[in-house]
Amino acid sequence: MRTKPTLTWIPTGEPAPRTTDLTEVVRVVGDGGVVVLSGAGLSTESGIPDYRGAEGTLRRHTPMTYQEFVASEDGRRRYWARSHAGWRTIAGARPNAGHHAVADLLGRGYLAGIITQNVDGLHQAAGARDVVELHGSLDRVVCLGCRRTSSREALDRRLVEANPSFRADVTRVNPDGDADLPDDVVRGFRLVSCVACEGVLKPDVVFFGENVPRARVDECYRLVDEANALLVLGSSLTVMSGLRFVRHAAKAGKPVLIVNRGRTRGDEHAAVRVDLPLGQALTTLAERLA
């Protein structure tokens, strides 16, 4: 499926009712069989910014699109220079209370699975297993020629060797792992190619405008079909790649529970809309189910 390069969404109409009461969430999750769909709002308490929150980076940053990346070496140079500078911030992030609470609920059998739109690996770092990474992971790199995958750590070492004098004063890092850099720093950055076929290397993440692998989408639909309910955590659901699962669950008559700061594109489908910080809400949820 192709992810539409939707960067913003403007709410219309009256906002759906919101609450800070977790009673209904506790009841539904307590019955088990719940699938989580998580977004960037779950990772903000780990120091990773989101795109669309109150301090969202889309206010100052336009993410790389797939079309720009594959069409232009200058585009790839811009991406890799900025990502090389910012990746360590993402790699050094640690799971927060929300991630740990989700892993705890999964381990105790309340959750039937986790679908995440995040590319930071923090669900797994908190101990969750069998997480479906809808948009891939920044920890991996893929060759667009031979499709060979390799670790981001290995690529980082190669980029350091290719750019021994590269220095960047990183002040802001974006959710896709790149940092704001001046143009003159980007222009001098040297790219490296696939060690197997000399093809173009790309992070193994789904850029805006890129296809989400069909098998991955089908796995997400299977999880939702087999679930008793869908719990959305920290996502505005602006992009169709996540919103479609909310619509699918609602159409099947399954309860959709949304915990998020601010309005979401899926609010009309929600049985309950909780507006609380994710760490606080999920810690409370886990405690009440203990």
- 128-186: pLDDT as tens digits: 999 999 999 999 999 999 999 999 999 999 999 999 998 877 667 776 677 878 888 88
Between residues 62 and 249, which one has the greater pLDDT? Answer: 249
- Catalytic positions, written as ranges: 135
Residue-level pLDDT at 56: 43
Q: 45 labelled as ligand-binding?
A: yes
228 is in an annotated binding site: no
Residue by residue, DSSP assigns the chain as -BPP--------SSPPP-BS--HHHHHHHHT--EEEEE-GGGTGGGT---SSSTT-GGGT--PPBHHHHHH-HHHHHHHHHHHHHHHHHHHT----HHHHHHHHHHHTT-EEEEEE---S-HHHHTT--SEEETTEEEEEEEETTT--EEEHHHHHHHHHHH-TT-------B-TTS-B---HHHHHTPPP---TTT---EEEEE--BTPBPPHHHHHHHHHHHHH-SEEEEES----SHHHHHHHHHHHHTT--EEEE-SS--TTGGG-SEEE-S-HHHHHHHHHHHT-
As a whole number of angstroms, the distance between CA 207 and CA 67 comes to 9
Residues 192 and 162 sit within 8 Å (Cβ to Cβ): yes
pLDDT tens for 23-49 read 999 999 999 999 999 999 999 999 998
| Domains of the chain listed by start with CATH number | 16-48+95-135+210-290 (3.40.50.1220), 61-92+138-205 (3.30.1600)
Q: State the Cα–Cα distance between residues 41 and 264, nearest whole angstrom.
A: 12
Torsion of CA 174, 176, 179, 181, to 10 degrees: -110
| 57 has binding-site annotation | yes
Q: What pLDDT score was predicted for residue 2?
A: 40
The answer to whether 13 is a known ligand-binding residue is no
pLDDT beyond 80 at 4: no
CB distance 145 to 49 below 8 Å: no
For residue 91, what pLDDT is reported? 86
Looking at per-residue confidence, does 215 or 3 come out higher? 215
pLDDT of amino acid 1: 41
Is 223 marked as binding a ligand?
A: no
Whether pLDDT at 233 is above 90: yes
Which residue from 24, 82, 64, 42 is spatially nearest to 207, judged by alpha carbons?
A: 64
Q: What pTM did the predictor assign?
A: 0.90
Q: What are the tens digits of pLDDT across the range 78-134?
A: 999 999 988 888 888 999 999 999 999 999 999 999 999 999 999 999 999 999 999
**pLDDT at residue 167 in the model:** 82
**Tell me: the pLDDT tens digits for 197-228?**
999 999 999 998 898 999 999 999 999 999 99
Tens-place pLDDT, residues 257-290: 999 999 999 999 999 999 999 999 999 999 999 8
**pLDDT at residue 178, as a whole number:** 76
Residue 237 annotated as part of some ligand binding site: no
pLDDT of 9 over the 60 cut = no
Answer whether 139's CB lies under 8 Å from 90's CB.
no
